[in-house]
A and B are shown apart, each in its own frame.
Chain A
Amino acid sequence: MNKEVVAHIENLEHTYSSGHKALIDINLDIYKQEITAIIGQNGSGKTTLSKHFNGLLRPTAGKIFVNGKDVASRRVSEMAREVGYVFQNPNYQLFCPTVLEEIRFGLKNLKLSDEEIKARSREVIEEFDLRGMVKKQPVTLSSGSKKIVALASVYAMDPEILFLDEPTTGQDQYGKTKLGLLSRKMKQLGKTIIIISHDMDFVAEYADRVIVMNESRVILDGTPADVFSNEEVMKTAHIMPPQIYAIGNHIHAVSSETRLSVMELAKVLAEGDYCL
């Protein structure tokens, strides 16, 4: 199956004015309708890379194309149609008196007609199950609901690519699961999702593809199973693989499938069908 490329990065480099090289020789294709996770320690370049997709940062060398068009020549507000960005702290994003207005803010910026805005916001409220809180003030919501409202308000603008920066910070298990399921739903609705995260359990569960960054470079790119079973790379990037992969690696039971599930591993263990 041929996968459609929505973003293409070529020999991208970024050097900050301090002289620090935050990105070195990045070459990537991001595919449509995939959940891609970028992982790595703080300072490995994840956030710097993500800011290039909508022009918040400009490459100091190399090129980045979104939907076939070079980002370099375009404004951030223009890119907002194509690349949505949900920041780690929803408090930095939410400012409207009601959830409904929050969702409409981006749509107004896109200069849509009133009918279009109404129709689109109704659709989003339905998809994100926000009916109960449209009249509420975003500031008063729980941290889990704030995250979802922030996500919905960006999703409403119908961008091709959605970035989620540390979506699970401060979330409990219920909140994480909800965000994970919403990501899957958005994917099914045709979106391309890129997650930047330290939460390896979340990444292992929901990502289709994992990109590992270390010291400004991409050092590994593959399915969760490929990545978390590569013990050498995990060590270099100071990443603790999820427990399930740690056991899987120990008994050499990680096959080349996309991801390892508890059930699958349990079956192997129960049948004693493994070697050390």
Chain B
Amino acid sequence: MSEYILELKDVNFKYENAPTVEEPALKNINLKVKKGEFIGVIGSNNSGKSTLCALCNGLIPKALDGEFSGQVLVDGQDIKDVSTAKMSQKVGLVLPDPEAQLSQLTVYDELTFGPSNLELPREKIFEEADRVMKLIRLENFKERSPFSLSGGEQQRVAIASVLAMNPEILVLDEPTSNLDPLSTQEIFEIICKLNREMNMTVILVEHEVELMAQYVDRFVVMDNGRIVLDGSPKEVFSHREVFEQIKMFIPTVTSLAGEIDEEYRKWGNYEYPITLEEMIKIIDSRKE
């Protein structure tokens, strides 16, 4: 067994049915993910983030057509050798549009739907569904139609229904892009809890850079189908020039520290802050 739970080696992919896009969606991607890591993937629209997500659970190249080369290993197994259904027990994928992911008549049916497709024993399915329901706190919605819930609640159900398959890696493709700030915060807290308490490996694609900076262990920055930066949040955000070049913002506190670089270094800090708390702590300590 390899020490990495997910490994992408020299992956290239070009969509078949994309007449408007001539360039490949992914170019020469190499990525190694350790068990329990919380990775944030950021980049502009069409930089290849969603394609990367679909790759992790084998939807690419199996369900979506295109030219694929390279190798994707999940827990040491090549995704090409495993069916999408089997893969769903290794990698759970959550999509941006909560409503489109739901199909069942009640929230509870939604939780049992995936495992029942895998023909798992009834008792085990109920056990998993009950566990997940507690974890994501959906008890009050158990018998409700998922379509009668708010967007944030629906996204929680979508996450729960994927977790009911008991995957080792959770991949989320812009899960909060249609939600209000309060629900966004709630989803982030759930994801963080899964990572910290259950040691779930998480790959999160998002636009909310400032919010992500509070939670993730590692950032992968993509541009135009390539990975341009990969490292700890501090490391990544220290490359301000790269972000400028790919027209992306870094957390305001980081650019603020950048603006007063000379002065900032005199304060005895060598690393830029990436979260509000850090910045405030630095300012406070300076005045004391």
Contact = CB atoms under 8 A, between A and B. Distances in A.
Nearest to A247: B279
B249 A242 contact: no
A172 B248 contact: yes
Interface in B73-101: 96
Contacts of B263: 269-270
Nearest to B253: A243
A238 B182 contact: yes
Nearest to B280: A250
A270 B262 CA distance: 9
A15 interface: no
A172 B45 contact: yes
A62 interface: no
B238 interface: no
B178 A247 contact: no
B287 A276 contact: yes
Interface in B206-256: 207, 210, 247-249, 251-253, 255-256
B20 interface: yes
B178 A169 contact: yes
Interface string A225-246: 0000000000000111011101
A73 interface: no
Given A41-B180, A172-B207, A247 B284 contact: no
A240 B255 contact: no
A174 interface: yes
Interface string B147-162: 0001100000000000
B260 A269 contact: yes
B256 A266 contact: yes
In the complex, which of the residues A240, A263, A275 has the most CB atoms of chain B within 10 Å of its own CB atom? A240
Interface string B51-86: 000000000000000000000000000000000000
Interface in B156-197: 174, 177-178, 180-183, 185
A232 B253 CA distance: 22
Contact of B181 (A144, A198, A270, A274): A198
A201 B251 CA distance: 11
B127 to A, nearest CB: 34
B259 to A, nearest CB: 4
B118 interface: no
Contacts of A247: 253, 256, 276, 279-280, 283
Contacts of B207: 172-173
A219 to B, nearest CB: 16
A238 B186 CA distance: 12
Contacts of B283: 247, 250-251, 269, 276
Contacts of A142: 45-46
Interface string A95-131: 0000000000000000000000000000000000000
Contacts of B249: 173
B44 interface: yes
A262 interface: yes
A156 B134 CA distance: 52
A144 B256 contact: no
A276 B285 CA distance: 11
A171 B44 CA distance: 8
B270 to A, nearest CB: 17
Interface string B254-286: 011001100100000000000010011001101
Given A142-B45, A200-B181, 20 more contacts: A41-B180, A42-B151, A42-B183, A143-B45, A144-B45, A171-B45, A172-B43, A172-B247, A177-B247, A240-B181, A242-B252, A243-B251, A244-B256, A246-B276, A247-B283, A251-B283, A262-B255, A263-B259, A269-B283, A272-B286
5 contacts: A170-B45, A243-B210, A246-B276, A247-B256, A262-B252
